[in-house]
Amino acid sequence: MNPKVGFLIFVLTLFLFPAIFVVKILVQDESPKVNTGGDENLPKSVFDDPELLSLEEGLKYKDIVVGEGNPCPKIGEGNNGVQVQIHYHGMLTNGKVFDSTITSLKGTMMDIDVAPDFPATGAANFDLGGLIRGWQIGVPGMKPGGVRKLVIPAHIAYGSQANGDIPANSTLIFYMKLVSASPR
């Protein structure tokens, strides 16, 4: 073998192939990360749903079933608060259920794009003003019997504070079915 060819092979092996390997690692498409804070780290399916609509403060929602009757009012619109009776199913963006009125589902993994079947009984009663900001924005406008998906960014959920099974800086996904809403 010609010494120049041998030297060329040596140089290519020593420098070029490792460089190609490093470039390939740097440009490869990584799977999105989950729950580390900013929207850029969320699984694409959380925000890629073309049916998601935007509300204030970055909240996204989709009405799966539009209910009937009077919509839930916003807090302070001619009232001193709003009492809601509601079924809910809350999960992290990785599908882990952290809370649900369907108690058998707590702690399980679910498909984040499928609403659960809510039972006829067992809804929770809340003062809307005592809930996270994401609910205060996302529940008004729902009509009784309506089912809505909310995608709540961390800053209007629990922010930088962990809360039970919810890590700090977590975007939350809720499916909810409004049973009733009563202004006080």
C-beta of residue 81 within 8 angstroms of C-beta of residue 125: no
Asked if residue 180 has pLDDT above 70, the reply is yes
CA distances from 142 to 46, 52, 70 (A): 21, 15, 8
Report residue 51's pLDDT band, with 50, 70 and 90 as the boundaries: confident
Q: What are 166-178's pLDDT values in tens digits?
A: 999 999 999 999 9
CATH tag, 39-183? 3.10.50.40
Q: What is the mean pLDDT of residues 1-29?
A: 52
- Residues constituting the chain: 184
